[in-house]
Structure 1
């Protein structure tokens, strides 16, 4: 550990202890702290990084700016868990302490092999001795590797690639390596933006996890956004999926969506050679969802976790900034194929935490449960309405499932959020997972999902669905 790392570690520890003391002294400062959703100890959290199960333990690293709840220079915070529900903070794992990552340890992934965890990430550098736009000039996006054998202590960082190693028709925006192995060859995807402002995903290959060469690029037939970041590639059932977060979509349906999108293309063919992309499917239709990453558990499940936030969004805010922190992750989801469709559901480990408190037909009203799961089954004639905290409404009308707030005032429960929707022929069932300041809604067994932060002053719940079965479970 060099002197800079030691100084940064001391500053982070001081900031985290100050936040802990503040919350111990003030109920109001902790009322929106989540129970199920992973949050920063202090300051800012964004992208999930290095998600994996290593030697039986789940690891979740995260983009972390501990000194400012509104962001700043990024490092990697670190949590571990035995069940993906109860997380233990392990301190900061990676600091911006080298010339090739001095302005931020940006996003990346974990690869597990031979009892070792290999962490690949983008080292961000912003030059300061000239006039730069930091898109085509003035930025370094360096691919970096660091390894650990115990998941706690991390070895020396090694710079693997820099801008000159990427295709020369790209801007400085190349980032977010995700690595996997297939047929004894290692592959890596990274997000990129071309000089013509076209988003694409780069594919690299290696025989030793260290020396990488460019293999192919994946892009849509027509330009689709200017940047494809946080790429991920995996198979679910019979489908090959390329997941990526797209920036720069405008007009038409995108005007009713978030500023940036996170979704996937189904791949026909081979991303190493000839391929064809399907239409772009969103992972989540709600307000707060970006930069998802997946990993495979030791029992073979594909788990997805995302940042429950949105970059560059002025539409709404987060009141937790006032109490020293901002953002959280989505609850871990299992991805599965059902009737040819990609679906998502909360991880099955949650079942062990649920306590059934009500099982009725037609209507349910409750107050006092802040962390719960609500299921509405066998919905008849698409007729239902759910109201949370008197302001957040979930309903179906004229072929649209909607998540909307009665008030969009930034001082209300919504903190400025308005409405998101999806066109769907029929709604058969809903599952709502509510935490102290977040809601995730799974429509038709997770065919569509809506995520949002919200900030309730009460925990009233009203659900109406004629003849449907309505079950409320408290999460213990």
Structure 2
């Protein structure tokens, strides 16, 4: 390993990049169509993967991939939100910019770690060598450097160190090694990196370090049979004593109701030794909707494992009408993870209940229908019968027939037709509908659907059809975001 620290001249480049971003944000209409009420979104431009999720002191840090200059991936930054209660947020200046030779074409995804009063960010520095005759982006002509940045205040990151270069990775890998997730593991530190082998098989690299500087390859983890050509956004954690390996595989073929999106996100149980002999269970998808990708988790001070994902889907043919207004994509609501029977269940973060207002409670016999606000939460408990039909927005439909839970859209889905998951028992549903998104949790998060949809707010309503059910409906108030970088408050 060879260290290369930040060039002092990069301070000027950094400030110029931040000034350009600030000027663009100040000229942006932040009240444009499809803006969310209780989801985090970019001020302008493009948002994708959540990065660097952590809690240090009382403050939760939510970084994200941010390309402000277009509504597609481009010159990117690490955007940065903070919150202490998930109701009031501060929008901070970008934490990382593409301001060095070793990350000049992208400060790609990664993680955060607080240690001895310092916050460290670990990320992939993307460098494209288009001047090379053999450049093909996959096997040649691309640097994928693993980099560490440091901060004393959690806001300003002034030192960058390259930890791993291309030649430091195994020789049978392509130029796609990325997305470091780092955590304290006993007396040392662990890091997982997503990778693509030259034979188009995805895997996860496991590294160890005693000092966060020198990293040694400790293991390579993959499935017994090839499962996609690339595993990105890896994560590794325990829930109730069970260890899980989380990743987002690319190149997995659809099977019946499974793996219906172009890319997937999910997990396997990891049994055995992270640094030695291991076995992986079958892959389970986190979410069966249209728009969920690249999740990341962290543990808060209460000991909860919290997940946030990208509420979008890269390289898909879905429509995203907000791009006409100069911005794109959302982050999911935070979710608390639990283990049950070897699988992960996701529950909405309880703090979101503080946004509830104007509660309605209705006992449904056969049918109930009402107009809805632009943003609301609905809880539906099925108390009799073996079927349920819920219509929301203008043409969003969720049905359960005793065997499958199915989500369908008409025109409001913008080319999102149908998704489903087997479900033999349905007792409870929670729907979180925002201006252009829905997150659906069945049976306390046993099955989850996440999707964008674009309904006419003036025509939106909620209709519940069941033999008997109980419906609780709340209007969701906006959370408050104080913009410390480009000015103003937005709700």
**Which of 42, 48, 67 is 2:44 aligned to?**
42
Over aligned residue pairs, what C-alpha RMSD do you find?
1.4
**1:337 is the counterpart of 2:339:** yes
8 Å CA contact retained: 1:106, 1:122:
yes
Aligned to 1:414: 413
TM-fit CA distance, 1:128: 1.7
**1:301 is the counterpart of 2:323:** no
8 Å CA contact retained: 2:78, 2:94:
yes
Which 4+ runs in 1 deviate beyond 4 A? Answer: none
Residue 167 of structure 2 aligns to a residue in which SS? helix
d(CA) in 2 for partners of 1:151, 1:12:
20
Residues 308, 251 of structure 1: alpha-carbon distance in 2 compared, 3 angstrom cutoff? closer
TM-fit CA distance, 1:364: 3.2
**1:382 is the counterpart of 2:383:** no
d(CA) in 2 for partners of 1:374, 1:261:
27
Q: Deviations over 1:198-231 (max 9, x none)?
A: 0000000000011101010110001110000000
**1:425 is the counterpart of 2:421:** no
**Which of 176, 193, 198 is 2:196 aligned to?**
193
8 Å CA contact retained: 1:191, 1:231:
yes
**Which of 364, 371, 375 is 1:371 aligned to?**
375
Aligned to 2:23: 14
**Which of 404, 408, 422 is 1:404 aligned to?**
408
**1:133 is the counterpart of 2:136:** yes
Aligned to 1:83: 85
Residue 413 of structure 1 aligns to a residue in which SS? helix
8 Å CA contact retained: 1:36, 1:86:
no
**1:99 is the counterpart of 2:101:** yes
d(CA) in 1 for partners of 2:64, 2:351:
22
Unpaired runs of at least 5, structure 2: 1-9, 478-491
TM-fit CA distance, 1:355: 2.5
Residues 148, 382 of structure 1: alpha-carbon distance in 2 compared, 3 angstrom cutoff? farther
d(CA) in 2 for partners of 1:375, 1:426:
16
Aligned to 2:455: 456
TM-fit CA distance, 1:368: 3.7
Q: Deviations over 1:366-399 (max 9, x none)?
A: 2141211111113433321111122000111361
Unpaired runs of at least 5, structure 1: 25-29
Q: Which moved more, 1:245-254 or 1:119-128?
A: 245-254
Q: Which moved more, 1:77-86 or 1:439-448?
A: 77-86
8 Å CA contact retained: 1:374, 1:432:
yes
**Which of 205, 218, 221 is 1:215 aligned to?**
218
Residues 190, 426 of structure 1: alpha-carbon distance in 2 compared, 3 angstrom cutoff? same
**1:278 is the counterpart of 2:281:** yes
Aligned to 2:166: 163
Residue 321 of structure 1 aligns to a residue in which SS? helix
Report the count of equivalent residues.
463
Q: Deviations over 1:46-76 (max 9, x none)?
A: 0000011112111111101000012212211
Aligned to 2:467: 466
Q: Which moved more, 1:251-260 or 1:293-302?
A: 251-260
d(CA) in 2 for partners of 1:285, 1:196:
29
Q: Which moved more, 1:132-141 or 1:396-405?
A: 396-405
d(CA) in 1 for partners of 2:16, 2:387:
59
TM-fit CA distance, 1:306: 0.4
d(CA) in 2 for partners of 1:154, 1:55:
18
d(CA) in 1 for partners of 2:149, 2:292:
28
Task: Select the structure with the greater relative contact order (CA < 8 A; seq sep ≥ 6).
Answer: 2
8 Å CA contact retained: 1:288, 1:308:
yes
TM-fit CA distance, 1:248: 0.4
TM-fit CA distance, 1:256: 6.1
TM-fit CA distance, 1:23: 4.0
Aligned to 2:252: 249
Aligned to 1:27: none
Aligned to 2:123: 121
**1:177 is the counterpart of 2:180:** yes
**Which of 346, 357, 364 is 1:355 aligned to?**
357
d(CA) in 2 for partners of 1:84, 1:103:
32
Question: 1:54-73 to 2 correspondence within 5 Å?
Answer: 54-73=56-75
8 Å CA contact retained: 2:148, 2:161:
yes
- The TM-score normalised by the length of structure 2 is 0.92
Aligned to 1:327: 329
- The TM-score normalised by the length of structure 1 is 0.95
Residue 334 of structure 1 aligns to a residue in which SS? strand
**1:228 is the counterpart of 2:199:** no
8 Å CA contact retained: 2:93, 2:155:
no
Residue 25 of structure 2 aligns to a residue in which SS? helix
**1:391 is the counterpart of 2:390:** no
